[in-house]
A and B are shown apart, each in its own frame.
Chain A
Amino acid sequence: MTSSALMSIGMRAMFANYASMQTTGHNIANAQTPGYSRQTVELATSGGQQTGAGFFGKGVDVVTVRRATDQFLNTQSQVASSMAAMDDARSTNLQQLETVFPPGDTGMGAAVGTFMNSFVDLANSPADSSARQVILTNAAEVADRFSTAGAQLDRLQAGVTQDLRNSVAQVNQLASQIAKLNYDIAGLRGSGQSPNDLLDQRDQMVKQLGNLVKVSTITANDGSMGVFIAGGQRLVLGAEAQQLAVTPDPANSGRSTISMSDDGVQHELSTDLLVGGTISGLMKYQNEDLVAARNQLGQMAASVAARVNQVQGHGIDLGSPPGAGDPLFAVGGPIAIPNAHNARDAAGGFASQVTLTVTDGSQLKASDYTLAADPASGGSFIVTRQSDNVKFSMAPDGSGGFQYTRQSDGAAMGGSIDGFQISFTGTPAATDTFELEPVGRAAISMVRTLDDPAGIAAASPMTAVMGVNNKGTATVGGLSVVSSTNDPTLTAAINFTDANGNYSYTLTDPLGNVTASGGGTWTPGQPISLNGLALDLNGVPGAGDTISIAKTAHPESNNGNALAMVALRDENFVGRDMQIDGSVQDGESATDAYASLLANVGVRVQSAKTASTISAATSEQADQAVANKSGVNLDEEAGRLIQFQQGYQAAAKVLQVAQAIFDTLLQMAGH
């Protein structure tokens, strides 16, 4: 029993309290540091010394500095934060997408509506050149709005690629930093103590990395953390980090995808497996939302242009001599993109290319398609519509074209599918795939191709006149050209043989020869069809009534084709559907198509915003749980500071007493 025992107890106590105060000070200093875990000094008694009078304690030992952390809470917070980042990225970008499709007077629907309504004024005075000029101006506005929207979508795509590059650069930087930390931490393992601050830093970086792309981690025995992404691809293992890169999507060079370089070889990461983080949100936005928006816009542009051009071609313009109207709009054509891995020829180009031809613009759907060889039968192919995953079989028909059949119910689609036909140059290999975009590029290249006001075809090529001596009540309701088989030089004479609507007709050429004749029965509400025309009658024809249909003598006073253009307002020609029995089911009218497009984008934005709010709240809750476990509470630290200060003072007192005892001993011995 010596004073040195007391002195050593005092010194130990002072050291322990000093260490606690230092740690408390460290906590207070780092109270605002993100990712910092509160540290506490772990104390233990130094054991007791056995003596005959009992075990006497030897004081206190500092065992270690422990950080308050819970691995489960950390993982939970990191996962929630990753989801929140993904939803936020998608929501922000979708809100940008929404500005491309404004509702109201500045939108595309309003422009198409104004364009069609301006034909009403032309119908009121067909020779009025100012009405024609207004139509041309409105047509230019329509083309302008579509092409601007298309260009904006392309810019958004470029923005996505740029954002992906930035995110990937950050990922790469974080990955290499984590790798370095792994090296440092593993190196310090031998000391037996855990490097708390380094561990905190590494956790914080993993969380930041998780915000960019979802990661899963495994801690190895030597303390290094392996980081894996995309369902098992290793990003960081030990002290080595792989690099990610943004590369063009092999299926469609207009889009980007993420690839990882593994020993110098780059391979693409599957998008389905990148399920969290900003990168995943951007990829989802690029592959789903941008594609859908571009296709819906293109479908509207292509069908409006096709139908307007068709009606324009059926009418007569004011040229000299008057002829069939020229097309008013031109849109971007359909494209087919070969996969980057397709077979190539000796010169490095693709061995086989695909060409698409549009046969009926009103049957185009708002979707991309994938074309691949049918493994079951050589020479046949399978076309998959990406919007709803409906598959079609494409078999050669023996004369160079193809016949299409819907696989789900065997319905025969005929020689074209959804309004377009596919043809090949070269022979595709069995593994070749192509991405077909029938409407994707339609909107951005939409232009008005007619500049001369006299080129607008306001007149019908033929006029119908009721006989002067008709006894019935029938009048001409409307005469429209329904197919290009119409020959305007043939005069038709219709004669009603009885009062039940039975009639006979003859078609006479300009020389007076009868080229065709026939008969039929007229029913109320149904038009009389002959020579590519449809004649609607109001009232009831009587026996002996005659109707004469002849070439329009004065195109400058006739407004028949202008009326046909006006009727397009009500015609549901966007997205018609071919049925099994060969009939065509109506789609939507042009303004309704735009309203649907608006609602579609709006619903996407709204649900993305909701998802973002929910996942942000979840992430906030998880963060709070972590903070409550690992965060610094200043009041608590203040209390502890006082506690350890008193302890220190008490320990100092113990030393003082020990010293006094020693002095007493010395005094005793010194005499």
Chain B
Amino acid sequence: MSVERISTAHAYDSALNNLMSRQDNLTATQEQMTSGKRVIKASDDPTAAARAERARALEDRTTASERAVNASSNAMTLTESALGDAGELMQQARELLVSAGDASYSDAERASKADALKAIRDQLLAVANRPDGQGGYIFSGQGSGGAPFVDKPGGVAFQGVGGQVNVASDEPLPLTLDGGNIWLAANTGNGVFVTKNTNSSNAWIDAGRVTAPDQLTSSTYDIQFSAGGGPTTYTVLKDGNPVSSGNAFTSGQQITVDGMSFAISGQPANGDDFQLTPSTRSLSVFDALDNAVKQLSTPDQGGPKVQQAVQDSIRNIDQCASQISSARSFAGTTLQRLDGVKGRLDATELSAQTSRSNAEDLDMVKALSSFNSQQTGYQAALQSYATIQKLSLFNYLNA
């Protein structure tokens, strides 16, 4: 007869092993619940641990990128406000110049305007050299050994290196702007060509404008006047070669040559010459103001010369102001872009945090219910052990 035997010692051992393993599971669940994490060491779930690690690295990275974006944002805010100040100064300079064109002013009055312009010029230099609060300068480009703009005998020079310094981000976000570009590289003339009064003290030429862009050439044009004995006429020379001559001249009337249109006013004398050359990007705002100051301070200029000086200066100031203004709008749009970048970084950080949480955090509801069922199982095991060990034949044998 084969009976299923059970060894007593083994039965006890086996029951104890079960109790120990249940207790072990219970403790593990408890550890998960107290730490709130499902993955405490890598072996709990290796792929989730690797995922959580990568998500954490991304989180750290976006935090660092946010610092970079903040640095750029601070710099651009400073820059934008500095350029705003510069714009206002340019506006003041323009008003001064317009008022200096008043024909009734005396030399002394013009000289006082010139002094005011000089003060504005010095303030503009200070704005161009404005520091960024961290030991650098906001218009230093790719670096300068000290203040980027220095007064030299030939005019103000840019000591820095062109270009801009960017922060560590995936798209170019600037920390500095190229000062040379903004302050020293406005377009001469009216942006396309430059009108210049070479030697006339009796007439002046305005800034001119483009009427037919397709007819423009890059030649140098001269308008030479012959007067005396009869109506005043002028010859148009292109690169030194006469193109037309004997043109009748009326003061203030538009003259058009090869798509360029300009007006000469006053009474040009014989041999007066006006020159038109293509624009270059070489107009320094400081030179423009220095020029204006020099012209207005010179006494006994005579009406036409004053007119010419004022016209030229206003034209230059306008070009410089537009250069500064476009730099300001660049700074402004960069600030807008930075807002967008910040928004994207926030979204990336949130997604990294979510990904990390999904990978390693504990689902508390699931954990609580499995803890309860493990607890019940453990209780049942304990009770059954206590009951069974009371059953023995020896209890029922007398003597």
A interface list, Cβ under 8 A from B: 31-32, 95, 98-99, 101-105, 107, 109-110, 113-114, 117-121, 123-125, 127-128, 463-466, 468-469, 475-477, 538, 552-559, 562-563, 566, 569, 591-592, 594-596, 598-603, 605-606, 609, 620, 623-624, 627-636, 638-639, 642
Q: Which residue of A lies closest to B185 (CB)?
A: A468
**Separation of A338 and B209 alpha carbons in the complex (Å):** 87
Determine if A553 and B143 form an interchain contact, defined as CB atoms under 8 angstroms apart. Answer: yes
Among B9, B49, B161, B393, point to the contact of A103 (Cβ < 8 A). B49
Determine if B46 and A634 form an interchain contact, defined as CB atoms under 8 angstroms apart. Answer: no
Asked, given contacts A465-B163, A599-B50, whether A624 binds B142 with beta carbons under 8 Å apart, the answer is no
Residues of B within 8 A of A596 (CB): 50
Residues of B within 8 A of A601 (CB): 42-43
A510 → chain B, closest Cβ, in Å? 17
**Separation of A639 and B63 alpha carbons in the complex (Å):** 78
Among A32, A598, A632, point to the contact of B49 (Cβ < 8 A). A598
Determine if A595 and B7 form an interchain contact, defined as CB atoms under 8 angstroms apart. Answer: no
Asked, given contacts A95-B43, A109-B57, A609-B43, whether A558 binds B168 with beta carbons under 8 Å apart, the answer is no
Residues of A within 8 A of B71 (CB): 124-125
Please indicate which of the listed interface residues A477, A562, A592, A633 has the most CB atoms of chain B within 10 Å of its own CB.
Answer: A633
Convert B166-179 into 0s and 1s, putting 1 for each residue whose CB lies closer than 8 angstroms to a CB of A. Answer: 11100010010000
**Separation of A630 and B7 alpha carbons in the complex (Å):** 8
Of the stretches B93-101, B132-140, B215-223, the one at the interface is B132-140
**Separation of A125 and B57 alpha carbons in the complex (Å):** 24
**Separation of A464 and B166 alpha carbons in the complex (Å):** 13
Among B5, B17, B180, point to the contact of A468 (Cβ < 8 A). B180
Asked whether any CB of chain A lies closer than 8 Å to the CB of B314, the reply is: no
Determine if B163 and A476 form an interchain contact, defined as CB atoms under 8 angstroms apart. Answer: yes
Residues of A within 8 A of B8 (CB): 31, 631-635
Within 8 A of A (CB), among B97-114: none
**Separation of A639 and B394 alpha carbons in the complex (Å):** 9
Q: Which residue of B lies closest to A567 (CB)?
A: B168
Among B60, B166, B393, point to the contact of A638 (Cβ < 8 A). B393
**Separation of A555 and B50 alpha carbons in the complex (Å):** 40
Determine if B165 and A113 form an interchain contact, defined as CB atoms under 8 angstroms apart. Answer: no
Asked whether any CB of chain A lies closer than 8 Å to the CB of B54, the reply is: yes
Q: Which residue of B lies closest to A592 (CB)?
A: B54
Determine if B163 and A628 form an interchain contact, defined as CB atoms under 8 angstroms apart. Answer: no
Residues of B within 8 A of A475 (CB): 163, 172
**Separation of A146 and B82 alpha carbons in the complex (Å):** 48
Asked whether any CB of chain A lies closer than 8 Å to the CB of B10, the reply is: yes
Asked, given contacts A121-B67, A466-B163, A638-B397, whether A598 binds B46 with beta carbons under 8 Å apart, the answer is yes
Asked whether any CB of chain A lies closer than 8 Å to the CB of B338, the reply is: no
A462 → chain B, closest Cβ, in Å? 11
Q: Which residue of B lies closest to A557 (CB)?
A: B143
Residues of A within 8 A of B44 (CB): 602
Among B46, B49, B50, B162, point to the contact of A465 (Cβ < 8 A). B162
Residues of B within 8 A of A566 (CB): 168
**Separation of A98 and B161 alpha carbons in the complex (Å):** 53
Asked whether any CB of chain A lies closer than 8 Å to the CB of B91, the reply is: no
Residues of A within 8 A of B162 (CB): 465-466, 468
Determine if B60 and A557 form an interchain contact, defined as CB atoms under 8 angstroms apart. Answer: no
Asked, given contacts A538-B172, A559-B165, A596-B50, whether A468 binds B43 with beta carbons under 8 Å apart, the answer is no
Within 8 A of A (CB), among B142-184: 142-145, 160-163, 165-168, 172, 175, 180-181
Determine if A128 and B65 form an interchain contact, defined as CB atoms under 8 angstroms apart. Answer: no
Determine if A468 and B60 form an interchain contact, defined as CB atoms under 8 angstroms apart. Answer: no
Asked whether any CB of chain A lies closer than 8 Å to the CB of B392, the reply is: yes
Determine if A464 and B163 form an interchain contact, defined as CB atoms under 8 angstroms apart. Answer: yes
Residues of B within 8 A of A555 (CB): 143
**Separation of A538 and B54 alpha carbons in the complex (Å):** 30
Among B42, B49, B175, B393, point to the contact of A634 (Cβ < 8 A). B393
Q: Which residue of B lies closest to A470 (CB)?
A: B281
A-B pairs, 6 with minimum CB distance: A631-B7, A602-B42, A557-B143, A602-B46, A554-B143, A627-B10
Residues of B within 8 A of A99 (CB): 41
**Separation of A101 and B17 alpha carbons in the complex (Å):** 31
Determine if B43 and A128 form an interchain contact, defined as CB atoms under 8 angstroms apart. Answer: no
A311 → chain B, closest Cβ, in Å? 13
A70 → chain B, closest Cβ, in Å? 12
Determine if A124 and B5 form an interchain contact, defined as CB atoms under 8 angstroms apart. Answer: no
- Known: A553-B161, A602-B41, A628-B4; 15 extra A-B contacts, CB below 8 A, are A98-B42, A110-B60, A113-B57, A117-B61, A117-B64, A119-B168, A123-B167, A552-B161, A554-B160, A599-B46, A602-B43, A602-B49, A605-B43, A631-B10, A635-B393
Residues of B within 8 A of A123 (CB): 68, 167-168
Determine if A469 and B281 form an interchain contact, defined as CB atoms under 8 angstroms apart. Answer: yes
Residues of B within 8 A of A592 (CB): 54
21 A–B contacts from the bound complex (CB under 8 Å)? A102-B41, A103-B53, A104-B52, A107-B53, A109-B57, A117-B60, A117-B63, A123-B168, A124-B68, A465-B162, A538-B172, A552-B142, A554-B143, A554-B144, A557-B140, A595-B50, A602-B42, A602-B43, A602-B46, A633-B5, A638-B397
Determine if B397 and A598 form an interchain contact, defined as CB atoms under 8 angstroms apart. Answer: no
**Separation of A592 and B8 alpha carbons in the complex (Å):** 55
Determine if B163 and A468 form an interchain contact, defined as CB atoms under 8 angstroms apart. Answer: no
Determine if B56 and A110 form an interchain contact, defined as CB atoms under 8 angstroms apart. Answer: yes
**Separation of A278 and B39 alpha carbons in the complex (Å):** 29
Determine if B42 and A628 form an interchain contact, defined as CB atoms under 8 angstroms apart. Answer: no
**Separation of A558 and B57 alpha carbons in the complex (Å):** 27
Determine if A627 and B53 form an interchain contact, defined as CB atoms under 8 angstroms apart. Answer: no
**Separation of A397 and B160 alpha carbons in the complex (Å):** 53
Among B49, B54, B56, B143, point to the contact of A556 (Cβ < 8 A). B143
Residues of A within 8 A of B393 (CB): 634-635, 638-639
Residues of A within 8 A of B175 (CB): 124, 559
Asked, given contacts A554-B161, A606-B43, whether A103 binds B281 with beta carbons under 8 Å apart, the answer is no
**Separation of A3 and B90 alpha carbons in the complex (Å):** 149
A312 → chain B, closest Cβ, in Å? 16
Determine if B185 and A634 form an interchain contact, defined as CB atoms under 8 angstroms apart. Answer: no
Determine if A554 and B145 form an interchain contact, defined as CB atoms under 8 angstroms apart. Answer: yes
Determine if B64 and A553 form an interchain contact, defined as CB atoms under 8 angstroms apart. Answer: no
Please indicate which of the listed interface residues A117, A469, A606 has the most CB atoms of chain B within 10 Å of its own CB.
Answer: A117
**Separation of A596 and B54 alpha carbons in the complex (Å):** 10
Q: Which residue of A lies closest to B63 (CB)?
A: A117
Among B52, B56, B64, B172, point to the contact of A120 (Cβ < 8 A). B64
